[in-house]
Structure formats: C-alpha cells, structure tokens
Amino acid sequence: MSRSGTGRGRGTGRATLGEVAQAAGVSTMTASRTLSQPELVTEATRARVEQAVQALGYVPNRAARALASNRSRVIVALVPSLSNAVFTAVLDGIQDAVDASQYQLLIGITHYSDAEEEKLLRTYLQSDPDGILLPGLSHSAGVRSMLETLSVPVVAMMDLAASPDTLSVGFSQSEAGMALTRHLLAKGYRRIAFVGAQLDERTLRRADGWRQAMQEAGLFDARLEIMTPEPSTVALGAALMQRVLAGLPDCDAVFFCNDDLAHGAIFHCQRAGIPVPGRIAVAGFNDLPASSLMVPSLTTVDTPRYQVGYQAASLLLDTIAGKLPKARRIDLGFTLREREST
C-alpha cells in the first residue's frame, strides 16, 4: 500500500503538474505549455492553470524537467579561491547575470589546483551543464579532454585568449604588468623588483609584463624577480618586504602581484620606520578597497573583475541560446591608479 491516501506513491508529497492540470481541467501537456510558452494558450486556459498553480502551491521539479527536456539549465563556474576578493567580485558578476536567467549556477572552488579543477569538473558533469565558466586559459590535459568530449560552450575569465576558438572575457594581464612597470620607470625607479605569490597563471603573466618592460628599459635583472608558491596574504607581503629590504639593498621599488601583499609591505615599512616611497616605492595589483585609503595610498592597477564575471556569464548564456556573439574575446581593459606609495 502507498504511504498515504493521496495516491502519490513514492513521490515528494508536493503537487505535480498532473495535479495542477487536473485541478484546472486540462491535460498535463497543456499545463506544461501554459508555464513554458503561455502565448500558445487561450487566456481562459492560462487563467485556470495559473489559479491551480497558486491553489496547490505548485513548484516545478527541476530534475524531471531536465530529464525530460534534455536541458539541465545548469551552468558551472569554477574559481580558484573565495579568499581572494578578486574572485568574489567575479562571482558577484556571474550571479547577477545568471539570476536574470532561468539557469542554475553551480560554483566550484579549485584552490588553485589543477587536480581539484579536474575533480570538480568531473563531479559537475553529473549535472550535465549547458555551459562552463573557467578561470584563465591553461588547464590540465584531463580538463581539456573533458571539455572537448562535452561539447558545451566554455568561457575563459580574467585573461584574453590568443586563439579565437576560445571564448574569453578579461584583460591582458601581461599588458597590465607592463603598464604598471612603465609607470615606475617613468617615475625614475630603476631597481624595480617583482614579487609574485601563489604563482597562478595571472601572476605569471604579470611577471612577463614586468620582465618585458624591464628588458626594454635595459634594466632587467633576474635577481629582482622573487617568486613563491605560498598563498598571497597580507602577512606574506610583510615577510617578503623584509626579505627584499635585506636581500636587495639597492632595490628602489617593488611591484607586488596583488594588493594584499603590498598592504603587508606598507605595514612592515611603517612599523620599521622605513619611508614609502622615500626609501622604497610599493605598488600592488587589483585595487582592493583599502588601497586608496591606507597611508600612503597604494599605487595599483584597477581591474574590472565584477564586469568580467557579468560579461563572461552573459556571453556564455548568449552562446548557449545560439546567439552569435559580437566578439568571442572581450577586452575589458584595466586602469592604472597612481597614488602616494610610488
């Protein structure tokens, strides 16, 4: 015997579309159509169905819809970290774009690990996503082959693809690195160090930009490049600044790959009584909220991360909908913020 007198068998106990249809005196498929394509139905029918929906508190079952329609209406977004304010802004942009659609967003945190990225993607394939948002351009062979097999649209975020085969929304990390370095050169700094942490793809591209600008100026010196795989934090920035001051006494400016490192560096100098930029200039990247307010205010590069998320998600949704995008590679640019610290 069924567990209740409603005849719902092993169901959820919630109203089904069939029950809505019955209450409205129409067939299930007419009820279905009323919800998905109301313009194909008489006004009278629509009213009766909508009333039944209200009366029964009907909530459509996504799993059934996905299974029957063979469209999951799911998109997956992978980001490296939530601790990095850059990616929370990207996610905010994605959310806002997706919220306006019928799509459901599945968020995965890769912790900057290729292996985790691959594992997450594999798990999320169970939800049969209609599209995917990924950070950056470089992925493991496993991820690349999964994406090929899948044949759903993929949009790369935060950098620009070289090939037009890849949909991408972002800005040139290397040009931004170059622009900031050139600013420092123009200010007269000569021994400009680059300090990179985490060593994700974007940091490496910024380092490329720094290297190129230094080479162009005839001032490149490999000893000025300080790289560590440790996660980028304020505390690490303080420690690395100490290391620069001790190990590179003639260094007159430091380009930190992220603002949080630069904040730590400035705090360290402040505590040690080292004038910034008098003794040494400090620049960061991303223009985090504190950067314009701290003392000295921080020279940095403002990046359009919310827009990256918003536009990447919009591009993905448009592509899923079969619209031909105006551009397959959307360059949102960046803005140099010259402040007191340089």
Residues near a second copy (CB under 8 A): 10-12, 14, 57, 59-64, 66-67, 70, 72, 82-83, 85, 88-89, 91-92, 95, 104-107, 109, 122, 125-128, 149, 233-235, 238, 260, 263-264, 267-268, 270-271, 289-290, 292-295
Q: Output b/e per residue, 156-175; b: 16+ Cβ within 10 A.
A: bbbbbbeeeeebbbbbbbbb
**Burial class of residue 17 in the structure, from the number of CB atoms within 10 Å of its CB (0-12 exposed, 13-18 middle, 19+ buried):** buried
CB of 22 to a second copy, least distance (A): 20
Question: Which of 220/267 has CB closer to a second copy?
Answer: 267
Tokens 């909508």, located at residue = 50
* 163 scored as a contact of DNA (CB under 7 A): no
Q: Give 95's contacts (C-beta < 8 A, 6+ positions apart).
A: 105, 309
* 47 scored as a contact of DNA (CB under 7 A): no
Site string for DNA, 61-100 (x = CB under 7 A): x--xx-xxxxx-----------------------------
CB of 50 to DNA, least distance (A): 13
* 101 scored as a contact of DNA (CB under 7 A): no
CB of 108 to a second copy, least distance (A): 8
Helix (H) or strand (E) holding 309: helix 305-320
C-alpha 258/C-alpha 288 separation (Å) is 9
Question: Which of 147/234 has CB closer to a second copy?
Answer: 234
16 binds, among a second copy, DNA, none (CB under 5 to 8 A by kind): DNA
* 32 scored as a contact of DNA (CB under 7 A): yes
Question: Which of 100/186 has CB closer to a second copy?
Answer: 100
Residue 226: closest CA among 263, 184, 191, 176: 191
Question: Of 8-16, 132-140, 161-169, 297-305, which segment contacts DNA by CB under 7 A?
Answer: 8-16
C-alpha 44/C-alpha 48 separation (Å) is 6
* 27 scored as a contact of DNA (CB under 7 A): yes
Asked if residue 276 lies in contact with residue 179, where contact means CB atoms within 8 angstroms, the answer is: no
Q: Within positions 269 to 328, which residues make up the interface with DNA, using CB under 7 A?
A: none
Question: Which of 17/86 has CB closer to DNA?
Answer: 17
Q: Output b/e per residue, 285-317; b: 16+ Cβ within 10 A.
A: bbbbeebeebebbbbbbbbbbbbbbbbbbbbbb
CB of 59 to a second copy, least distance (A): 5
C-alpha 171/C-alpha 169 separation (Å) is 7
Residue 61: closest CA among 23, 14, 28, 106: 14
C-alpha 79/C-alpha 91 separation (Å) is 8
Asked if residue 155 lies in contact with residue 316, where contact means CB atoms within 8 angstroms, the answer is: yes
CB of 323 to DNA, least distance (A): 18
CB of 137 to a second copy, least distance (A): 24
CB of 78 to a second copy, least distance (A): 12
CB of 55 to a second copy, least distance (A): 14
Q: Given the rule CB under 7 A, which residues bind DNA?
A: 8-12, 14, 16-18, 26-30, 32-33, 35-36, 40-42, 44-45, 58-61, 64-65, 67-71
